[in-house]
Amino acid sequence: MCKDKFVLVNDTICRTVDEFKAIVRLKNVIDNSILVDWTTLDISGVDVCYEIVFNTLTLYNISSPPQLITNLSNGEVQAVQVTSIAKRRDDRIEIVMSDVFFIRTEPGPPTAVELVDVGQRNISINVTDTDTPNGDIIGYRFHIMYKLYPDKMGYSVKVKLLNKMNSNIYVLERHIYPGTRYKIAVFTVNDAFNSSLNVTLQDITTLPDTPGQVDVHTPSYIYQKTSLAVIIWRRPSHPNGNMKAYRAVLESGPDITNCRIYYLCFDVCNNTILGPPNDTCTISNDTTLMEHQKIMSLLVDNLRQGTTYTLSVVGYNEAGEGKNPRLISLTTKRITRKRKKRTGGCLEKKVTCGDSINEVMSVACGEKHCLGKIGSRTTQEELFYKQKSDDQSDYIFKHIVVKLK
């Protein structure tokens, strides 16, 4: 037998009734209904049923979760409690109650949402309040979805909560960028919940502005030769519109008599986009870019070997030329002359030295020194010779053994 507040689960084991207490979760709180779910101890041989007390209403003999409750009063606070009734093996009953939960139904979505004004860095929206606030409306939650480039996979999403305005006009400024396409979902927020439904504005495009600074690529140049190299950069993080072209300018440097201008365009390079030509600079080339190209490269040639040059790079869109050039440097390859390998010893051979034949001389590190006549016909002869030291400051004497033929 088990004491009170314990449940006999087999012939010898008793479990406290508190272990059968329901852990309650409330789900899908909508206009007039709620789904009450819970978990509890499940032991073979112990029968458990449940009762749900909802305000003054009680639902009896519920065998298992979840339980849908309907006909809620909009906007009113509701109390929910689940009672677990465990039948012991000796047919005695033990009861344990869950914690009490207070809920209120969520508000409805806005009745209407209207676009009022669009600038470069702001979007104004008129929001008409919901007919089912189910409490006090404290504001609206805006899900701001945008793409800085049309080829970008998926939307960037930012969330902004704005407090209730008497005018119903809400101005979004944060995360609003020039020349960018947006869609904005608006949710109602009351003093307890956010609405699960929303009203969404589609295809909003802000006014363009000149593009931001082009992004750095690492490395900044490749294909390094003695008279040329290829510089590389990435498209701007904030294009502020539709990218039309790039311009790179090499102002000065060794062997640069006139500044050079390089244009890279997504279509035909024309003065409508790029403005009038610069009379003091030479246009070196026009390069056509692919649509949505992310990484740009430019060959810069006719340069001096072993020299560093710096180019300024800007982008263009429908609003004009970028205001913050990116400086990109390159260094050409230096010509290196191969030095003769020092062998650490001397090459010996029998040569003619002066008027005497059969004299031995040494070809040592590029310098020849006569060593004197061979005085005998033995198989070898030991000789000393002098050679310039490594720092060329003095002569040093070295000993060799000459093999005779």
Calculate the alpha carbon distances from 186 to 126, 150, 174, 342 in Å. 11, 23, 16, 80
What DSSP character marks residue 338?
P
pLDDT band at 115 (very low <50, low <70, confident <90, very high): very high
Question: By 3-state DSSP, what share of the chain in percent is helix, strand and coil, each rounded to 5?
Answer: 0, 50, 45
Domain assignment present for 1: no
Side by side, the strands of the sheet bearing 67-69 are 23-27, 34-39, 67-69
Domain assignment present for 171: yes
Structural domains counted in the chain: 4
Domain range for 394 is 347-403
What is the model's pLDDT at position 75? 60
Domain assignment present for 340: no
**184, 205, 226: which is the final residue of a domain?**
205
For residues 277 and 371, membership in a common domain is answered with: no
Amino acid symbol at 101: F
Domain assignment present for 46: yes
For residues 240 and 273, membership in a common domain is answered with: yes
Mean pLDDT across the chain = 80
For residues 394 and 290, membership in a common domain is answered with: no
Domain assignment present for 98: yes
> In terms of pTM, does the model score above 0.75?
no
For residues 155 and 176, membership in a common domain is answered with: yes
For residues 261 and 306, membership in a common domain is answered with: yes
For residues 37 and 85, membership in a common domain is answered with: yes
For residues 93 and 172, membership in a common domain is answered with: no
pLDDT in tens, 285-314: 778 899 999 999 999 999 999 999 999 999
Domain assignment present for 342: no
C-alpha span between 59 and 73 (Å, rounded) = 17
For residues 221 and 319, membership in a common domain is answered with: yes
Domain assignment present for 338: no
**187, 205, 223: which is the final residue of a domain?**
205
Domain assignment present for 210: no
pLDDT in tens, 10-45: 666 777 778 888 888 887 666 567 888 888 777 776
For residues 189 and 219, membership in a common domain is answered with: no
Angle at 329 between CA 325 and CA 333, to 5 degrees: 160
Q: Is 384 exposed, middle or buried (0-12, 13-18, 19+ CB in 10 A)?
A: exposed
* Residue 33, domain CATH: 2.60.40.10
pLDDT in tens, 361-381: 444 444 444 444 444 444 444
